Amino acid sequence: MYLLKIKNLLTILLSMTSQVIFSQELPKLKNPPVILETMVGSRGTYAQMMISKKFHSIPNLGIFTVNSIIGEWGQNRVDDMMMQGHVTYGIYKGFTVNAGFHYTPMTGMRPTAGVMYTFASPLWTIVLFPRTDISSTPDMEMFGMVEHKPKINQKINLYSRVQGMYVNNPKSYLHQKSGIAIRTGVTYREFTFGAAFSSDWYGQERKQKSNLGGFLSLAL
């Protein structure tokens, strides 16, 4: 009789414990939205998609991917296209180590790794991302971006962004590509739109191609 009471008590305790454990919700993790941006300008059209997410069950672990393409007026093929995808792991506040792949029509698909720093607040966003290809002839890239989003009212913000990148081959010391992009406009809810300018330099001859026009960005 005594053993039966103990058995019943243990069964009740185990049932209550399991209910508490499985009823607990994971801490809410606020992931940034998926960003889709398109620009139409004097050179042609530009489109970019950026995804940066953390796993709810493992908040230090995440994914980061950027895909971009430029289609030039009067051209039947696309020469400027980039795809990259990374698994990210947070090592310190704002810092992640990234490993994944990087693709362009010129270099093909290559494994890559880097360290990213991100600072985000309602007013400012700052991103620094140096990375390197993992290959016998690696390209090294430095990317930087600054966004400023001052509030006008509860629904509208001014928006400005400056970003730049520089790609160099450390073995040949040759310039591969560099560029700068500027955006200025307004944000209303999930829509951001305004004026856009970008300029890119290609190869060791640093052939310049610029694009002046307008842009639309969606935060989904």
Domain that holds residue 106: 27-219
Q: Write the pLDDT tens digit of every residue in 40-79.
A: 999 999 999 999 999 999 999 999 999 999 999 998 888 8
Asked whether residue 18 is domain-assigned, the answer is: no
Would you say the pTM of this structure is higher than 0.85?
Answer: no
CB atoms within 10 A of CB 186: 14
Residue 6 located in a structural domain: no
Supply the CATH number for residue 100's domain. Answer: 2.40.160
- Is 19 part of any domain? no
Average pLDDT, stretch 132-153? 94
Q: What is the mean pLDDT of residues 122-144?
A: 94
Total count of domains within the chain: 1
pLDDT in tens, 85-129: 999 999 999 999 999 999 998 888 999 999 999 999 999 999 999
Q: What is the pLDDT of residues 151-175, one digit of tens each?
A: 999 899 999 999 999 999 887 778 8
Is 171 contained in some domain? yes
